[in-house]
């Protein structure tokens, strides 16, 4: 038996969606609310990741595998390490990429009934999610929605070639 490879473009929902033009795109307020909730969820996640890195560095110090200069604590040493910054950035990126590629919604987006998708209603690829995340400028790209009253697309939506739509029936911008 030969296995057929799974398609990279899975539909966002099992329900058939209506024509592209009839799905309303999300406005600024919904995006801002989702961003606020996701920020509140990411902070404890990054705190936990920081504690894990601190625990690892502390274990290295007490086991003698890492020696620090006099007066330098493990937390002070850790704060100046490139790998620690990359670790936290990786955790942050993984949060958004995971949810956008698996479900089309972060928990904040789910609360405000919006989702990110391609214009053909398929989920984003990992590459698209990384482009979207990299061009979002920590959420500032959403300010463009205020001025783009016709398309309701943010800066990152243009770059990643995707859209954020409202999932609630009858809901508008």
pLDDT tens, N- to C-terminus, the chain (173 residues): 445 444 455 555 434 344 445 689 999 999 999 999 999 999 999 999 999 999 999 899 889 898 888 888 888 899 999 999 999 999 999 999 999 999 999 999 999 999 999 999 999 999 999 999 999 998 899 999 999 889 999 999 999 999 999 997 655 55
C-alpha dihedral sign at 151, 155, 158, 162: negative
Residue at 108 is within a domain? yes
Residue at 13 is within a domain? no
> Could you tell me what percentage of the chain is helix, strand and coil, using 3-state DSSP and rounding each to the nearest 5?
55, 5, 40
Residue at 33 is within a domain? yes
Residue at 5 is within a domain? no
Residue at 172 is within a domain? no
Overall number of domains in the chain: 1
Domain that holds residue 44: 25-166
Residue at 43 is within a domain? yes
Residue at 42 is within a domain? yes
Question: Which pTM does this prediction carry?
Answer: 0.81
């Amino acid at each position: 038996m030969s296995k057929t490879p799974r398609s990279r473009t899975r539909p966002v929902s099992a329900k058939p969606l209506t024509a592209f033009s009839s799905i309303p795109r999300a406005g600024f307020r919904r995006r801002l609310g989702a961003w606020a909730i996701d920020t509140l969820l990411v902070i404890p996640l990054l705190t936990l990741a920081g504690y894990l890195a601190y625990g690892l560095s502390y274990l290295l110090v007490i086991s003698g595998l890492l020696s620090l200069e006099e007066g330098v604590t493990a937390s002070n040493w850790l704060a100046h390490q490139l790998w620690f910054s990359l670790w936290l950035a990786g955790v942050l990126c993984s949060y958004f990429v995971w949810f956008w590629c698996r479900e089309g919604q972060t928990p904040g987006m789910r609360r405000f009934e919006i989702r990110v998708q391609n214009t053909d209603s398929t989920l984003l690829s990992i590459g698209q999610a990384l482009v979207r995340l990299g061009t979002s400028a920590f959420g500032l790209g959403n300010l463009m929605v205020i001025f783009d009253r016709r398309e309701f697309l943010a800066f990152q939506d243009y770059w990643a070639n995707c859209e954020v739509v409202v999932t609630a029936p009858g809901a508008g911008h």
